[in-house]
Amino acid sequence: MTTTEVDDRGGGGRTDQGGRPGQGSRTDRPSEAQDQATRRGSLFWVWHVLRQNPLTALGAAMVLGLVLAALLAPWLAPFPGDGGVDVHPKSQLLAPSLEHPFGTDELGRDLFSRVVYGARISLFTGSLVIGLALLIGIPLGAAAGYLGGFVDEVIMRFVDIVLSFPPLLLATALAAMLGSSLVNAMIAVAVAWWPWYARIMRGQAVALRERGYVEAARAGGVGTLRILTRHIIANSLPPLIVQASMDFGSVILTSASLSFLGLGAQPPQPEWGLLISTGRTFFLTNWWYVTFPGLAILVTAVAFNLVGDGLREYLDPRLRSV
């Protein structure tokens, strides 16, 4: 296909096609930039999605900020020791001020510092819980969907049983039984959450096991385990990732609820839910105690929900603004 570089305004006998803002003497070939763009990979599309969806970009920025805050806590917090065991009996329950932007608690600790340190706990909790839930749910779901039959029935009935309960109540009951600690609370929430991933994974496995490449692998004598990991699970990642990112916010909320009920983090950990629980005793007269930790939970959950939404729209082409 030969092309020549020609001024695009040429064209014998053609009435002017007007209406386009002055684009000078561009050539008729797709520009180098355009050609490169088609070759550009996911990074270009990520940037494009972010540009198109300001809300998603906002969420991404917020998540980034939270991660940074958690990582840089010792330098961000004006009173790093207050995240731990320092007490200042003379500064009890001070209202917010320049020195203590979030006020102080009943032991005189700077609440801003405690909230910043709490970010570490929350992010850690969320990651661990979801990781654990995926670790349990993916193998079970994959086995159920791929192997089918009796295994499928048993696993799915078990999933139904666990899902026949509102997740918060289930986690509460489990945490109550396991004993009150942050780790036990994480386990409890993970146990309440894995069935969702098992279901998604199973659905994917059922759909994918009929695919050509899976049959080819089976015919070629590839072992079941390898098929499961290499083909089925690897190709099921998008919906799982979407669900996981959308769940991050809910997981943080649930963990905070458990701590609020006294079943999760224990004093003196600056976990946000625990802070609210402690602050409840004083909140009518010291409004800042519950307000700021709660805002932190809210902001974190909003951030991850926005990102999760954006991911879902990105991976589901029907919902894009085309």
Partner 1 sequence: MWAYTLRRIALGIVVLLGLTLVTFLIARVVPSDPAARWMGPRATAEQIGAARVKLGLDKPLYVQYLRYMADMARGDLGTSIRTHQPVRKDLAAMLPATVELVVVGMVLAVLVGIPLGVLSAMFRDSPMDHLGRVVSVTSVSLPTFWLAMILQLVFFKSLGILPLADRVDSIIKLTYPLRPGTGFYLLDSLLQGNWPFFHSTLAHLMLPAVTLAAYPAGLVARMIRSSMLEVYQEDYIRLGRAFGFSESLITFRYALRNALAPALTVIALTFAYSLGSTFLVEAVFNWPGMGKYAADAVTTADYPAIMGVTIFIAALYVALNILVDIAQAVLDPRVQLS
Partner 2 sequence: MAEPQRLPLLEIRNLSLEFATPLGPVYALNLGGLDLYPGEVLGLVGESGSGKSLTASTVLGLLPSRRARVTSGQVLFDGRDLLRATPAELQHIRGRDISMIFQDPMAALNPVFPVGEPLLRILRLHRGLRPAEARHEALRILDEVQIPDPAAILRRYPHELSGGQRQRIMIAMAIAGGPRLLVADEPTTALDVTVQEQVIRLLQALQRAHGTAVLFITHNMGVVARLADRVAVMYGGDVVEVAPVAELFSAPRHPYSRLLLDAIPRVSARRERLPAIGGEVPDLRRRPVGCAFAPRCPLVTARCLSERPSLSAAGAGQVACFHPLAAGDSRTEALA
- The partner in contact with residue 42, picked from partner 1, partner 2, none with C-beta cut-offs of 5 to 8 angstroms by kind, is none
Q: Which residue has the tokens 């007007």?
A: 18
Q: Which of 64, 68, 71, 161 binds partner 1 (CB under 8 A)?
A: 161
93 vs 199: CA distance, rounded Å? 48
Residue 167 contacts partner 1 per CB under 8 A: yes
CA angle 239, 244, 246 (to 5 degrees): 95
CA angle 297, 116, 257 (to 5 degrees): 30
Residue 253 contacts partner 1 per CB under 8 A: yes
Stretch that binds partner 1, among 4-12, 141-149, 211-219, 293-301 (CB under 8 A): 293-301
For 6, phi then psi, to 5°, come to -135, 150
CA dihedral 224, 226, 232, 236 (to 10 degrees): 140
Stretch that binds partner 1, among 97-105, 120-128, 159-167, 198-206 (CB under 8 A): 159-167
Q: 3-state DSSP call for residue 110?
A: strand
Q: Which of 24, 25, 26, 125 binds partner 2 (CB under 8 A)?
A: 26
Taking the CA atoms of 139, 144, 148 and 149 in sequence, report the sign of the dihedral they define.
positive
Q: Which of 115, 297, 311, 314 binds partner 1 (CB under 8 A)?
A: 297
Residue 4 contacts partner 2 per CB under 8 A: yes
Q: Read out DSSP for 59-94? A: HHHHHHHHHHHHHTHHHH-SSGGGGTT---GGGTTP
Near partner 1 in 233-252, by CB under 8 A: 249
- The partner in contact with residue 257, picked from partner 2, partner 1, none with C-beta cut-offs of 5 to 8 angstroms by kind, is partner 1
Q: Which of 168, 206, 222, 241 binds partner 1 (CB under 8 A)?
A: 168
Near partner 1 in 170-229, by CB under 8 A: 172-173, 176-177
Q: Read out DSSP for 190-216? A: HHHHHHHHHHHHHHHHHHHTTSHHHHH
Binding site for partner 2 (CB under 8 A): 1-4, 6, 8, 10-15, 17-20, 26, 28-30, 34, 37-38, 44-45, 48, 321-322
Q: List contacts with partner 1 (CB under 8 A).
A: 54-55, 157-158, 160-161, 164-169, 172-173, 176-177, 249, 253, 256-257, 260-261, 273, 276, 280, 283-284, 287, 290-291, 293-294, 297-298, 301-302, 305-306, 309, 318-319, 321
